[in-house]
């Protein structure tokens, strides 16, 4: 409590000094040099038969993404109950059944040009079917593209069969039911009375027209019959094939299903955060190290079957890693800002702050740089009117700052920005023609060694006269 009060007094003092400095007109926020350029957002609503989007990637000059489309309806029957919770019976003593009908949605593959034009459904992709009468389904867990344009879909297939008690067969005692990827259902499922649970991961390879060229069952690589054999990430590894993270191993698999390499995490590595591609198309991994206190960039050496430490570390504030390209190997979020990373120099560059471009960075499915310096994004947002999901193609136009329509700007400082406040700021900025709120989230300056580094920087800047117009006290040692 004493420390908290001390911090409050320090912050109050620097606020007072900062206000005096700002009023004097020297060193205040209005004297901050204008940037060379800014990104101006243009929103285009994408219309089509799909609902939302996810797992976007770029290949052969086109953007590909997975979405849901309606495929007929499902009707289910259930017993009617009275207000006392008793089943309602007909004159023959049989339960009165009611029907409930709802839309049936399935996953589909779409593509469009890099400018958002020529949006169309690709091929006849459909999720892997499960045996007739089984409970469960299949879900897309990852989606990526190879340099030659091949598309790779990772599916998690999970289902149970039989009416026996769950747990009757577990672990290595599981009887794996036959699973076909070529026909809707299988006819040789296990006996109805025997409970069987199946979970597996499939890698399905398609050409750019959506024609399936291979289906690879990852369970064949579970040499030690591990009970928890799960896939957590996937990228293409150049033209060699596919790199997947399974538990604490990386598996290299050719596009035809041949095992190319198996690389364990190794000493000092606690787990894998995210697989990425470097600028040459090769695979690398962001890995947790030193008791999860830092993130390291490790290159995959397919020839030697080893991980190579790039001697580059990241703090734990990095999240939402995207393939990026252009001048950078990949991009990622820190706080409300987006950074590009150059593996050759080991340096990151702050490219933009999402909310200051009128974009919610948490809703993005893909981020793609263009040769002219623009950035295009795909975003799905829930309609405020309750009409479901609206999908946007967003062009962030790189514009000289003196050509950006000027508004009266209010600066807002915070250490982490909550969901509700973020939405209110986005709504205000999009609607106001005269004013806008510029956000600076100081949490991006926090490090693993100093979780209060952002707060310290905020105090230092206020003390030097850079006083924000608005300051959120959430997360700050201020008693309100």
- The pLDDT tens digits for 432-466 are 989 989 898 888 887 767 778 888 888 888 888 88
* pLDDT at site 174: 31
pLDDT at 386: 65
pLDDT in the model for residue 33? 66
pLDDT in tens, 166-220: 443 333 333 333 333 333 334 344 454 578 888 889 999 999 888 999 999 999 9
**Three-state SS string across the chain, please?**
CHHHHHHHHHHHHHHHHHHHHHHCCCCCHHHCCCCCEEEEEEEEECCCCEEEEEEEEEECCEEEEEEEEEEEEEEEEEECECCCCCECECCCCCECEEEEEEEEEEEEEEEEECCCCCCEECCCCCCCCCCCCCEEEEEEEEEEECCCCCEEEEEEEEEEECCCCCCCCCHHHCCCCCCCCCCCCCCCCCCCCCCEEEEEEEEEEECCCCCEEEEEEHHHHCCCCCCCCCEEEEEEECCCEEEEEECCEEEEECCCCCEEEEEECCCCEEEEEEEEECCCCCEEEEEEECCCCEEEEEEEECCCCEEEEEEEEECCCEEEEEECCCCCCEEEEECCEEEEEECCCCEEEEEEEHHHHCCCHHHEEEEEECCCCCEEEEEEEECCCCCCEEEEEEEEEEEEHHHCCCCEEEEEEECCCCHHHHHHHHHHHHHCCCEEEEEEEHHHHCCCCCCCHHHHHHHHHHHCCCCCCEECCCCCCCCC
pLDDT of residue 331: 92
Q: Which of 5-19, 309-323, 336-350, 448-462 has the highest mean pLDDT?
A: 336-350
């Amino acid at each position: 409590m004493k420390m908290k009060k001390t911090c409050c007094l320090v912050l109050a003092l620097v606020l007072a000094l900062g206000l005096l400095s700002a009023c004097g007109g020297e060193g205040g926020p209005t004297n901050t040099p204008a940037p060379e350029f800014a990104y101006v957002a243009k929103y285009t609503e994408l219309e089509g038969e799909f609902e939302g989007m996810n797992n976007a990637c770029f290949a052969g000059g086109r953007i590909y993404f997975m979405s849901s489309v309606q495929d007929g309806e499902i009707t289910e029957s259930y017993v009617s109950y009275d207000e006392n919770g008793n089943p309602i019976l007909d004159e023959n003593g049989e339960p009165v059944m009611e029907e409930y009908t709802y839309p049936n949605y399935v996953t589909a593959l779409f593509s469009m040009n890099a400018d958002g034009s020529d949006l169309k459904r690709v091929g006849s992709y459909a999720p892997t079917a499960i045996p007739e009468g089984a409970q469960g389904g299949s879900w897309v867990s990852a989606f990526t593209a190879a340099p030659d344009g091949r598309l790779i879909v990772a599916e998690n297939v999970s289902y149970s069969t039989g009416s026996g008690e769950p747990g009757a067969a577990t672990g290595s005692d599981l009887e794996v039911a036959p699973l076909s990827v070529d026909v809707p259902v299988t006819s040789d499922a296990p006996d109805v009375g025997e409970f069987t649970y199946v979970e597996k991961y499939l890698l399905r390879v398609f050409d750019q027209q959506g024609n399936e060229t291979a289906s690879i069952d990852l369970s064949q690589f579970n040499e030690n019959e591990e009970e928890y054999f799960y896939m957590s990430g996937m990228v293409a590894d150049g033209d060699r094939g596919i790199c997947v993270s399974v538990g604490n191993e990386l598996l290299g698999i050719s596009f035809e299903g041949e095992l190319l390499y198996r690389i364990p995490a190794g000493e000092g590595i606690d787990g894998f955060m995210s697989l990425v591609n470097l600028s040459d198309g090769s695979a690398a991994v962001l890995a947790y190290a030193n008791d999860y206190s830092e993130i390291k960039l490790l290159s995959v050496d397919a020839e030697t079957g080893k991980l190579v430490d790039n001697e580059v570390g990241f703090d734990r504030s990095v999240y939402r890693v995207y393939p990026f390209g252009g001048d950078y190997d990949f991009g990622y979020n820190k706080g409300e800002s987006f950074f590009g990373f150059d593996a050759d120099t080991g340096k990151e560059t702050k490219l933009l702050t999402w909310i200051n471009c009128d974009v919610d960075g948490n809703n993005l499915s893909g981020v793609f740089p263009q040769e002219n310096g623009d950035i295009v994004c795909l975003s799905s947002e829930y309609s405020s009117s309750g009409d479901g999901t609206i999908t946007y193609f967003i062009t962030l136009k790189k514009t000289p700052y003196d050509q950006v329509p000027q508004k009266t700007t209010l600066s807002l400082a915070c250490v982490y920005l909550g969901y509700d406040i973020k939405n209110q700021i986005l709504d205000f900025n999009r609607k106001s023609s005269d004013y806008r709120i510029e956000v600076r989230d100081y949490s991006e300056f926090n490090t693993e060694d100093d979780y209060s580094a952002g707060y310290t920087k905020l105090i230092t800047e206020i003390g030097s006269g850079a006083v924000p117009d608005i300051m959120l006290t959430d997360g700050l040692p201020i008693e309100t």
